Each structure stands twice: as C-alpha cells, then as structure tokens.
Structure 1
Amino acid sequence: MTRSSATESTRVYRASPDPADHRLAHELAEAAGELLMGMRDELRGAELRAAGDRRSNQLLLARLAEERPEDAILSEESADDRSRLSADRVWIIDPLDGTREYAEPGRLDWAVHVALWSGGHLAAGAVCLPAADLTYSTWRPAESCPAPEDPVVLISRSRPPAVLEKLLAGWPATPRPMGSAGAKTATVLAGRATAYVHGGGQYEWDSAAPVAVAVASGWRVRRLDGSAPRYNQSDVWLPDMVICHPDAAPDVWAALDAAE
C-alpha cells in the first residue's frame, strides 16, 4: 500500500445512517449563514468580526442543544470540553470560517462549517457560503463535473503552503489565493479549481465539514504526507489538507509524494 492509497474514503467518512443528521448539518449551516449576512448590514470592521464569531457560535450551540442534547460539541469559539473524547457523537463546528474576508465588504469567500463525527469517522457535514447563496452538504452533495482544462490550485491568502513550489514543479498549475477553507473546497467541488492544498496551519474545525462534504461528493482527500485526516483527537491541531478532483488526484498525489 502506498502512502497515497491510505486515504480511502471509508477511513475518513462513513455516512450517518440517519438522514436527519445530514439534513440538520445543512440547515444549521444555512441558519448561521443567514444570521451572519444580516449582521453584515449592521456592523463593520473589528466589531463585525468579533460579533460574527460570537453570535454564530451562540446560534449553533443553542440549536444543537435543542436538536441533539446528548451529543458533544467541539467549536472554534468555545472552550474545549474534553468529555468529547469519550463521546459517541461530536459536532465539530466553525461558526465563521474566513473571519477576515467576512468583514471585507463584497467578499464571498467566507463560510460556516458544521460536521458530525461518530465512531471514529466523519459522518455528516455542511459548508455554507452565505454571500454566494451556496451550500454543499452530505445531505445535498455536489454533482460530478469535469476538472478544469487548465489546472488551478487554491491556496491560503495569508499562509501559502511551503510545499507549493515543489508541487508545481511536478504538477504545473496556476496558484490562486482565496480565503476560507470552506470557500476553497466549494470552488473545487464546483469545478472551478482542480485542487485545494493547505500547509500553513489549521485545526479540526477548519477542515472537518469541507472534508466530509468533499468525500461524500466523490472528491479525493489526504494530508500532505499521504495519511488520512483524523478527527475528535486530543490535540485538535490539523495543520495541512489536500482536496482534489478525482481525475487529477493521481498526478497531484505523485507530485506531492515527490515533494515530501
């Protein structure tokens, strides 16, 4: 088994057998997105960023307490309740991914992430891009589409991956900076980019929902070293991720393995 083959989808995502979990993830992400859009008309700058993180988190926590009171929660905006490590089900949420972009008027590349982890695997998820009126989820996965004719790789606006130069030496593509892991994942799922490569530091809530949605939609996922991402870990630091169109994955994986 090569390092790249270690990313079989069943090691990352196994769909919840309860359709209500998938629908709830979708609806929660959209509800938080609607709240955040309304706030954009009321506040500006640092006040908007702080209030957006806080209020979106409050909404998601309240809805989960109502809808799934027995489940644990791991949120970027809440203290880590370590009891989640022995829980059967854990919601992993990023109430506002791309906070900087959210506060920049007119930008679309920010998102709400809602994912469910269960039994060692991601089990449901949703990524909502409110300003683009777009939601991808395991309830409504992306439809298959061809990879772009001219390869495009999406990277962080502020922390481009150190491996980028070596990757492009083995797989020529046009790098394009963009905010929010969710926004980059949605762009790949829409067929407007070939891959999203991140290597500048992230946490579980940054990638859980994007990974769940990508795998459920048939796209390929791995870490830079070829291993499969793992969630609901004691250390929630998960600094790198690659999401790629399935047709391009062999070439991208080969270039990444050569770059390591």
Structure 2
Amino acid sequence: MTEHTAQDDHALAGRLAEAAGRLLLGVRDELGFADARALKDTGDLRAHEYLMAALAECRPGDAILSEEGRTSVAGKRARGDERAPTGNTATGDRLAADRVWIIDPLDGTREFSEEGRRDWAVHVALWERRAGGGAGGLTAGAVALPAQGVTLRTSPDGALAGAEPLRVRPPREGRLRIAVSRTRPPQFVTELAGKLGLDVELVPIGSAGAKISAVLLGDVDAYLHAGGQYEWDSAAPAAVALAAGAHASRIDGSPLAYNRRDPRLPDILVCHPVSSSTLLTGIRDVSDALPE
C-alpha cells in the first residue's frame, strides 16, 4: 500500500460516511415518520447499498463487514426495492484479508425513526493487518452525525471534527458525566456512579456513535456500555477516539479487537485517559460485588 493510499483512506472514510448521511436525511424527507419500520429498513438498506457499492468501486480488493450484510438480515427490504441486501465478504476471505472495512450504515435506527432526534450516526472504519502477519488494528475511521451537521474522522495527524483538529478534553475536577443507553442503561453503571466518590451524571444518548462522539466533543466525559454490541457498533468511533487521544478499551481494560470470526464485541469504555484508571477500578469493584 502506498503512502498516498494510506492518507486517502482517512479522507475516503469521511467522504463515504458524509455521503451516506446525506442519503439518510433524504430518506427521512421522502418517507416521513408515520411508518417507523419502513423508515428504519429503508434507511438501513439504502445506506448499506450505497456504502457497499462505493467501497467496491474505490477499494475493490478490500473485504467488507457491514451490519446489514449479514445472512440474518437477508429478508429485509427497502421501500420500493425488492432486492435482498448485498452480502458481506465471506467470513474465511475476510479473516484472511489484509484490509477490512467495518461499517454500520445506520447506527441508531430507533433515533433515526423519531422526528427531531439527532443522536444517530453512520460508521465507516478500516482495519488493517500489521506487517509480518500480526493481528492488525483500526487505521482509519469516520463517524458522520448527519442531523448534527458534523463528521468526526481520523487524519494522518490525529483526528478532525469537520476541518478542525479534535482532541478529547479532560473532565472537570470532581465531576463525571457518563453517556448511557436511552432505553437500557446497564445496572452496574448506576452502581458504579454511587461508588466513585464524584458528582456523577448519567446522560441518556441514542446510538453508540453519538455517545462516543459526545465524549470527543466534550458534551459528556465518558461512555460505558456492557449490554452487548458488535464490531460495527464501535469500530469507527473507537478509531476516531484513539486518534483524538482518548482511552478506548473493553471494560476490563483489555484492548478492543476487530475482524474476528465472531463479530460480537459486547462492552466498551471510552473516556479521557485521566479518568480511565478510576473508571476501570470502579468497574472491577462493582462487577465483583454483583451477584453471579
């Protein structure tokens, strides 16, 4: 891979995420909000087909793992389109590939289908195998927040919010705002909040991408999740978070690993590095105290 291509991957991720976001805004305008299921399915699948086609054209030799390219969603149909979704790269081929794009065409379908909500996203990330056949890691990523009019992405020098440099901000002393699920905040986060010895505020936000973006933009100080996710839920926002100087790991402190045979990646912590030790210790203590 040439240096030019490596730099282009950052820009490509941003362009594709933004374009898919514009498409999704158009789907909202076209269908309205009366039929939530039709809006969700149409948004999911039109954004998926756009990204699959664009990556096939721009990076024809790369593998793709998309939330909407799984066998389990083959029965879904978009409004006015009877085709099944384009499938992902076969698992064996993906695991052998040196470059894999991990995408979530619409992160936060519930929020997308609710009029006025802005906390949904598009994720585009690139995983690359390390030289010498190593395990590999995320090398580029973008999170478009179409209803908020901003895209966060990696760059050769770090991360960007639009055209501006992006660095995660430290929390205010004695206070911690933690982004949690709108509908199912994990029990242990509430337990954790009571044990940290800080002024803790739990802030409900929609999609995972919107939550991690809120950390990076300074709207909250941490995102903590243990309710079950997949690689496409976190790959792009984790790539941007790491590029922006944030801590991003599993809740036991182990690294986030992508392009695995089983794409489940059930938990994540994203915060400023100054908060990571406090949160990881608190998570461990609370987890040990919870009943089996």
On whether the aligned pair clears a TM of 0.5, the verdict is: yes
CA distances 1:139-163 after superposition (whole Å, capped 9, x unpaired): 2432343424531100111221232
Higher relative contact order (CA 8 A, sep 6+): 1
Q: Contact conserved, 2:252 with 2:280, CA < 8 A, in 1?
A: no
Aligned-residue offset at 1:19: 0.6
Output the aligned Cα RMSD.
Answer: 1.7
Aligned-residue offset at 1:17: 7.7
Q: Contact conserved, 1:148 with 1:192, CA < 8 A, in 2?
A: no
**1:112 maps to 2:122:** yes
Mapped to 2, the partners of 1:128 and 1:221 lie a distance apart of 19
Mapped to 2, the partners of 1:46 and 1:226 lie a distance apart of 37
Secondary structure class of the residue paired with 1:248: helix
Q: Contact conserved, 1:162 with 1:200, CA < 8 A, in 2?
A: no
The 5-angstrom pairing of residues 70-219 of structure 1 reads 70-79=61-70, 80=88, 81-82=90-91, 83-119=93-129, 120-139=136-155, 140-141=159-160, 142-148=166-172, 150-171=175-196, 172=198, 173-219=200-246
Q: Contact conserved, 2:170 with 2:221, CA < 8 A, in 1?
A: no
Most deviating of 36-45 and 234-243: 36-45
CA distances 1:213-232 after superposition (whole Å, capped 9, x unpaired): 00000000111122111100
Aligned-residue offset at 1:63: 0.6
Secondary structure class of the residue paired with 2:69: coil
Aligned-residue offset at 1:249: 1.9
How high is the TM-score relative to the length of structure 2?
A: 0.81
Aligned-residue offset at 1:165: 2.7
The alpha-carbon distance between structure 1 residues 134 and 256, as it changes in their structure 2 partners (threshold 3 A), is same
Mapped to 1, the partners of 2:195 and 2:276 lie a distance apart of 13
Q: Contact conserved, 1:74 with 1:93, CA < 8 A, in 2?
A: yes
Of 27, 52, 66, 1:39 maps to 27
Structure 2, gaps ≥5 residues long: 71-87, 130-135, 161-165, 288-292
Mapped to 1, the partners of 2:228 and 2:184 lie a distance apart of 8
Give the corresponding residue for 2:77: none
What code does the residue aligned with 1:105 have? E
Structure 1, gaps ≥5 residues long: 1-15
**1:67 maps to 2:91:** no
Give the corresponding residue for 2:273: 246
Aligned-residue offset at 1:246: 2.2
Give the corresponding residue for 1:20: 8
Secondary structure class of the residue paired with 1:197: strand
Q: Contact conserved, 1:148 with 1:193, CA < 8 A, in 2?
A: no
Q: Contact conserved, 1:115 with 1:125, CA < 8 A, in 2?
A: yes
Q: Contact conserved, 1:26 with 1:126, CA < 8 A, in 2?
A: yes
Mapped to 2, the partners of 1:216 and 1:129 lie a distance apart of 18
Secondary structure class of the residue paired with 1:192: coil
The count of residues paired between Structure 1 and Structure 2 equals: 246
Mapped to 2, the partners of 1:203 and 1:145 lie a distance apart of 27
Most deviating of 168-177 and 120-129: 168-177
Give the corresponding residue for 2:163: none
Q: Contact conserved, 1:154 with 1:177, CA < 8 A, in 2?
A: yes
Provide the identity percentage: 51
Q: Contact conserved, 2:168 with 2:272, CA < 8 A, in 1?
A: no
How high is the TM-score relative to the length of structure 1?
A: 0.90
Mapped to 2, the partners of 1:152 and 1:217 lie a distance apart of 19
